[in-house]
Amino acid sequence: MCYGYDGEAALRRSVIDRRGLLRGSLAAAAGVGLVASGIGATAATAGPGHGHGPGHGHGHGPGHGHGPGHAGRHHVPPGLISIQLWTVRDALNGSPGYDATLKHLARIGYPKVELALGYFGRSAGQLRRLLDSIGIKASSSHDGISADAAALRQKIQDAVTLGQKYMVVPYLYSESADEWKRWAEQMNVEAAAARRAGLRYGYHNHAHEFTIDLGGGRTPWDILTAELDPKLVHLEIDIYWAVTGGIESGAGAADPEGFTLDVIRRAPQQVLQYHVKDRHAADGDMADLGTGMIDFARIFRGHAVQEYIVENDTPDVTPQQTAEVGYRYLRKLRY
């Protein structure tokens, strides 16, 4: 166990690190991005589906294009669409405010959200009553690994009070293999406690899990997928960051969607949730859904999940518009 790790501080640092990663991508984008910009339209050999969650992947051989109008037999069920509240943090913290923003998300059609940034001065019970009054659920949350046993108990109790199904560790960073192993050990312990309370416990990736060389070519992702108990811990694959990790590491530069599908298929852990956000081809920055290079249809054909969570850390226009564009895109997408 590695109690004492400050998960909340790590989340705060992640804000800085995410932006640094984005800026760092710009240099590579001049070369690699030009190659990647054509991949979404040309590389579409998904092969057989290897979904291993309750919803199985649907491989249909070659497919082309990733626009919402692309013909296909499958769609994202509306009840599986969610949004990470980090996307609308400026609206939550400023205008129109927390309550009004949640009401707007419900009006758009979102049936649920993934919590971030705490409860904005409310207890878990108070937030649950607010969500119930609006008609939207909190099915998942991003929480740092716990500082001690008491913090873990409180985290689990809050998630149960809110009626969540999932709790997810959103960010860890180290260049030490031993530290990644200690974190995996702690996540296994936390996941066992969460399972006893009826919750699923997951880990959310960024790009650095695929790009840091811990020695001998071994990456943090190699350690996590080897050490996390697949019976207890699932994966929440952030598609943008997996694509970016593939491009920046070179392993997925020629076929970032193929790299992402390989990540999903090779992991012994179940992939139950997606963070769905697009990537600008020219500069590698995040993009509103449907405006970037990522062939989501190909990825969704390859593996289906239980939650498709809209996210964009850097909304193209406003957080509210990003939320609307993302929901409409997922509702219209056929694959």
DSSP string covering 219-237: -HHHHHHHHS-TTTEEEEE
What is the pTM for the complete model shown?
0.82
Whole-angstrom distance, CA of residue 280 vs CA of residue 185: 36
The 10s digit of each residue's pLDDT in 140-150 is 999 999 999 99
Q: Is residue 142 part of a domain?
A: yes
Higher pLDDT, 31 or 8: 8
202 inside domain:
yes
Q: Measured between alpha carbons, how far is 210 from 123 in angstroms, rounded to an integer?
A: 37
Residue in this structure with the two tokens 């501080």, named with its chain if needed? 9
Any domain includes 18: yes
Residue 1 forms part of a structural domain: no
Encoding tokens for residue 206?
A: 């960024």
In a domain, 25, yes or no: yes
The count of other CB atoms within 10 Å of the CB of residue 56 is: 12
User: Is position 290 within any domain?
Assistant: yes
Q: Is a pLDDT exceeding 90 seen at residue 56?
A: no
User: Is residue 2 assigned to a domain?
Assistant: no
Indicate the SS3 state at residue 22: helix
Mean pLDDT of the chain: 86
Q: What is the CATH number of the domain that holds 28?
A: 3.20.20.150
* Range 96-103 average pLDDT: 98
- Number of domains composing the chain: 1
Q: Which of 125, 198, 199, 130 is nearest to 167 (CA)?
A: 199
CA distance 27 to 62: 32
Range of the domain at 182: 7-332
Residue 69 lies in a domain: yes
Higher-pLDDT residue of 167, 16 = 167
